[in-house]
Chain A
Amino acid sequence: MVHRRLLQLAGAVPGAILALAGLGAVLSALHIGFAITAGGVIATLVRGEGDPLPGLAALAAIALVRGTLTGVREPVATRFGAGVRIRLRRRLLARLGAVPVAERDSGQAAATVIDGVDGLDAYYTRYLPQLVVVLVVPAVVVGLVWTRSTAAGVALAIATAVAVLAPRAWDLRLLRNGRRRWERFTRLSSDYVEALQQIPLLRAFGATDRTAARLAADADQLRGSTMAQLRLSLVETFVSGMAVHVGTILAVVAALSAVVSGDTRAAGAVTVLLLARECFRPVQDLGTTWHAGYLGLTAVDGLDQLLSRRPAVVEDGTRAAPATTGSVVVDAVTYHHPGTSTGLHGLTLRVEPGETLAIIGPSGSGKSTLARLLEREIDPDAGGVRIDDVDLRDLTRRARSRSVVVVPQDPTLFAWTVRDNLRLYRPDATDAEIERVCEIADVRHVIRALPDGYDTVLAENGEQLSGGQRQRLAIARALLSPAPVLVLDEVTSALDPATERRVVDALALAAPARTTLLIAHRESACVHADRWIALRGGRLAAAGDGPPSARVLLSGGTP
């Protein structure tokens, strides 16, 4: 199961693969040495001539070394495996930014980075090294047998070729059909888990009988089609099994005939008996790592998604000084979301330092695209975005993170302590500073009610908090940032009116010098705006002074 993508990525971890293949080869060499020595000793015993003791001592020594290396292989592979996971994840996560946001949420990227990389670990530390061993060791064994009896060598060579190649033909079929079947199997499993999780819902809608019947029918259908495919593929088990058994028998018999006719010494026949097994041992071991190879294969699609795309932004800015005053210029910016008609078309905009600008408009008018351009999650197709007259593309990532901070509508919180979450934009913030921003975002009492206050470790994405509480934590977090430009993308949408009012008022008082861009569709969110603009279809549709009136908001700024 060798795939172009998997080999390409193997370049990232060549050391681990070669080291483990080397270890496997040494182990095979010890097995071969044991077989040859034992053959000599047994022949000595049978013939009753010569001293078997030196041979016995050698066997004991080989057995101990081999035992030790066998014991060491597993922990070594595991240690290398951790290194492989670390390197691959760093590499893949760095490419994540290239995946369009909508696809990133679909879970495939997460599946690739989590389960996919676990599968690749098995692929690179178990399957590939063993594959290398299979390519080398049986050929050596065949050569050793050949020197003792040509006929035995020929028999073994043919048998080995069949035993090694027959499963590869099956791998080819698997490449074509197996992935789809695996997908169906995992999908059926996740449907089953979902049905169990949603039993209360299914009961409330009287749907448990139907669901049980559907799951059973799906399972039966999958079993039927799987067995139909296996009918052919399992023939491989028969072919390679027969090659191993009949090949060994014929090789030994050929050696015995040679002994009978006097062409070969007796010890040679015993050695061939023991060596034949060593010829097939790596092949059989490859069979036990087969699942690891399969896991690698299942990750291919996810890897394609991450590695085949061009990154949306290339970080090559060199200016390390962050903006200080916070003037924002959007200069004739055009951006098309790939595959859609939405985006921005030649938008020009200027926001003075300390000004609060409300940006309104219907869904798809380009508001959130503007936010993504301002934090350089995407780069404009044409035109430029400048802060303090410096193009965002010229800033280093660190300088940019200190120039502009964006709070998205559906912010992500991390499974860290509340304090660490709040310090995202300023890791050295003091407790007093943290308290102050939590006061502004009206979230202090929420944190106090948590079991360990600021030291509470949040669940994944802060799932124990409501949408509104998450939004307020995200606002507090952004307020700790030293950036002079703050972009708020409908950040109070999940708050009740009274809380929203408190937060909006506190925000206006807390940071009068900060340039604020407020994306909103409710009047209550932009009562303190100095100016407003309305977007429609990615273009400026209207603008006005002061906060937008209810009438303006309702009509989307068009008269």
Chain B
Amino acid sequence: MRAVLRLLPVIASRRGLFVETVAWSVVNQAAVLTIALGLAFAVGRVVASEPLDLRVTTAALCALGVLAAAAAWRESWVSHDLAYRLIGVLRGRVFDSLRRALPARTRHRRTGDLITTVVGDIETLEWLYAHTAAQTLSAVLVLAVGGMVSVSLSPLLLLVWVPLLAIGVATPLVTARRARRDSAALAAGAATIRSELLDTVRGLRELTGADALDAQLDRITADTRAHARTQVREAARLGGERAVADVALAGAALGAIGIVLLGRDAIGPADIPLAITVAVAGLGPAAQIADLLRNAGTLRAAAERIADVLAAAPAVRPAAVGEALAGGEAAAVADKSGLVLDDVTFAYDSGRPVLDRFSLHVRPGQVVALTGPSGAGKTTAARLALRLWDPDQGSIRIDGTDLRELPDAELRALVAVVPQASPLLRGTIRTNITLGDPDATATMIDHAARAAGLLDPASGLPLGLETPVGEHGTGLSGGQRARVAIARALLREPRVLVLDEPTASLDPDADTAVMDFLARATDRATLLIAHRPDTVAAAHARIALHTTAGRHT
């Protein structure tokens, strides 16, 4: 639980809400327990024909009933508020950390998996802090009270209580270990079925055309059945836990009756309903504790991952502002040398440098093509030019200023990129184009869009710039996406432009648009990364990278 505690400072800002949740939860559970015990007490008195003021009892219990309901209401209100705020805080902190740390300086770790895991982890922790921790704390309290009432009635009741409590709490601990073994199979099965269903929706045309839809449905059915076998095993385990809890509660009642029978003198007749009720109702909250214990492993893992993410090292250090103001601005005006990679060495976290003393110079007005097989370091060089990472040795300069000396805002005004596969964000074409400059005027946006060929009547965009791009830009064709990405880069009017495989997904028309644009760039240094020879044809110079650690020709 150390990791769970390590995260406490993150949620410390919401301490007040957390304490309030615990308080209302305690009031609610204590009131509910008291009502149960009070009713049992009253029944015992009346049935044993002992005197009892029914009016006072009723009034007191009804008051408790209203209090319990009010406390439950307040608790659910506060815990909802806490949950929403915690998700906000955790998401904010994780984004803040990852935006400095990503892209990860590793070649092989799948960032997509990391993100899916982290997003799930945030929800797990929200569940812990907002909906579980408080309830468990108050369950422990109520359990203690129940124990004390039992002892005060007869210490013999502990003979029933302690073993049943131990069974109730231990069962999930035992089964959790076995559950973990099945969880990988469950996740894999779900992923398989999911991808088969996606395939079916996407490939319906082919499946129907090949008369293979029924076969595909049979395949999905068979896989669902196979997956269900693991699910049923998991459910049987859960059902077993519930059965044990259910029998334990019944056992508590029977055990209490047994104690009454064996030690007739220990418990007076009027206290018998109370003794039985306290045995059952007092054990109820144990279920809450068992629930937390069952998920302890998951919770710990989630907390550890989030704590690690929050502690991740930034990919680049922010520029020292004073330095830049002294030298940077003056140099930018005087020097027009374009983009320089000077003796750059860069290695991913494991092993040999992917770029080894690599140098490159792109003058304004020039297009330099960087070619080579995948893995040779082309995209690495592009990311260094954008200062997504810093080189291990050597320096990268734009118009004479080392990128490390430029404040981020200044650097981003100098360099723009058309990334591989043209990723877009949900929104419209317009919001995507203005990603780097939300204050751009309509004229500027129009200009950039026109240059990228987005305003042609033939571009197939009925709503023009207001066309929604869909999730991950999937509402647009590959060619349309590429044009949006080009317009987005053009809007910045950058001194240095990095084009990473710009024509891989382009239709021939857009290809021409890119080339036109390249030809018109008189004041701009362009680094073109490509593998197709016809794309590179327009370049003024060509540098080929080989896989042997950034050697070039």
Contacts and interface: CB of A to CB of B under 8 A. Distances in A.
Contacts of A93: 200-201, 204, 213, 217
A381 interface: no
A237 B69 CA distance: 7
A223 B85 contact: yes
Given A67-B246, A249-B65, A270 B386 contact: no
Interface stretch (B145-153, B156-164, B230-238, B393-401): B230-238
A522 B195 CA distance: 35
B436 A206 contact: yes
Interface in A186-218: 189-208, 210-212, 215-216
Given A67-B243, A269-B47, A466-B504, A106 B475 contact: yes
B333 to A, nearest CB: 21
A475 B207 CA distance: 15
A208 B204 contact: no
Contact of B69 (A194, A241, A466): A241
Contacts of B81: 223, 227
Contacts of B203: 412-414, 461
A556 B372 CA distance: 38
A364 B272 CA distance: 85
B88 A223 contact: yes
Given A106-B470, A242-B69, A377-B205, A216 B92 contact: yes
Contacts of A244: 69
B200 A85 contact: no
Interface in B460-479: 460, 470-472, 474-475, 478
A401 B39 contact: no
Contacts of A509: none
Contacts of B23: none
A393 interface: no
B65 A246 contact: yes
Given A196-B115, A203-B388, A249-B65, A212 B532 contact: no
B261 interface: yes
A234 B210 contact: no
Interface in B213-271: 213, 215, 217, 220-221, 224-225, 227-228, 231-232, 234-236, 238-240, 242-244, 246-247, 250-251, 253-254, 257-258, 260-261, 269-270
A107 B471 contact: yes
B454 to A, nearest CB: 15
A413 B200 CA distance: 10
Interface in A219-243: 219-220, 222-223, 226-227, 230-231, 234-235, 237-239, 241-242
B250 A270 contact: no
Interface string A419-433: 000001101000000
B108 interface: no
B44 A193 contact: no
Contacts of A406: 205, 209
Contact of B250 (A67, A82, A104, A397): A67
A253 interface: yes
B76 interface: yes
A219 B272 contact: no
A80 B103 CA distance: 45
Given A64-B247, A196-B119, A245-B35, A56 B211 contact: no
A423 to B, nearest CB: 10
Contact of A227 (B80, B103, B270): B80
A415 B47 contact: no
Contacts of A190: 426, 471
Given A96-B204, A204-B419, A70 B239 contact: yes
Interface in B42-86: 42-44, 46-48, 54, 57-58, 61-62, 64-66, 68-70, 72-73, 76-77, 80-81, 84-85
Contacts of A226: 80, 84
Given A190-B471, A249-B39, A467-B478, A197 B111 contact: yes
A245 B197 contact: no
Interface stretch (A43-51, A146-154, A325-333): A43-51
A273 B507 CA distance: 77
B295 to A, nearest CB: 16
B335 interface: no
A234 B77 contact: yes
Contacts, number: 361
Contact of A200 (B91, B257, B383): B383
A212 B100 CA distance: 12
A175 B470 CA distance: 27
Contacts of B334: none
A176 B470 CA distance: 26
Contact of B62 (A101, A220, A246, A408): A246
Contact of A397 (B211, B232, B419, B508): B211
B471 A212 contact: no
Contact of B118 (A77, A196, A230, A249): A196
A260 interface: yes
Interface stretch (A109-117, A136-144, A293-301, A352-360): A109-117
B202 interface: yes
Contacts of B239: 70-75
Contacts of A48: 269
Size bracket of the B interface: 35 or more
A66 B96 CA distance: 52
Contacts of B155: none
Interface stretch (A10-18, A34-42, A343-351): A34-42
A238 B72 contact: yes
Contacts of B534: 496-497
A257 B46 CA distance: 9
Interface stretch (B351-359, B408-416, B539-547): B408-416
Contacts of B66: 242, 245-246
Nearest to A89: B220
A49 to B, nearest CB: 11
Given A237-B76, A249-B62, A212 B99 contact: yes
B242 A70 contact: yes
B393 to A, nearest CB: 22
Nearest to A481: B210
A453 interface: no
A352 to B, nearest CB: 23
A212 B95 contact: yes
Contacts of B492: 205
Of B200, B505, B508, chain A has the most CB atoms within 10 Å of the CB of: B200
A109 B242 contact: no
B16 interface: no
B529 to A, nearest CB: 14
Contacts of B57: 253
B137 interface: no
B182 interface: no
A248 interface: yes
A459 to B, nearest CB: 9
9 contacts: A46-B48, A67-B246, A70-B242, A101-B205, A256-B46, A401-B209, A412-B202, A424-B212, A496-B534
Interface of B: 32, 35, 39-40, 42-44, 46-48, 54, 57-58, 61-62, 64-66, 68-70, 72-73, 76-77, 80-81, 84-85, 87-88, 91-92, 94-96, 98-99, 102-103, 111-112, 115-116, 118-119, 194-206, 208-213, 215, 217, 220-221, 224-225, 227-228, 231-232, 234-236, 238-240, 242-244, 246-247, 250-251, 253-254, 257-258, 260-261, 269-270, 272-273, 276, 383, 386, 388, 408-409, 411-413, 415-417, 419, 423, 425-426, 435-436, 438, 458, 460, 470-472, 474-475, 478, 488, 492, 504-505, 507-508, 532, 534
Interface of A: 34, 38, 41-43, 45-48, 52, 56, 59-60, 62-64, 66-68, 70-75, 77-79, 81-82, 85-86, 89-90, 93, 96-97, 101, 104-107, 109-110, 113-114, 189-208, 210-212, 215-216, 219-220, 222-223, 226-227, 230-231, 234-235, 237-239, 241-242, 244-246, 248-250, 252-253, 256-257, 259-260, 266, 269-270, 273, 362-364, 375, 377, 397-398, 400-402, 405-406, 408, 411-415, 424-425, 427, 460-461, 466-467, 481, 493, 496-497, 522
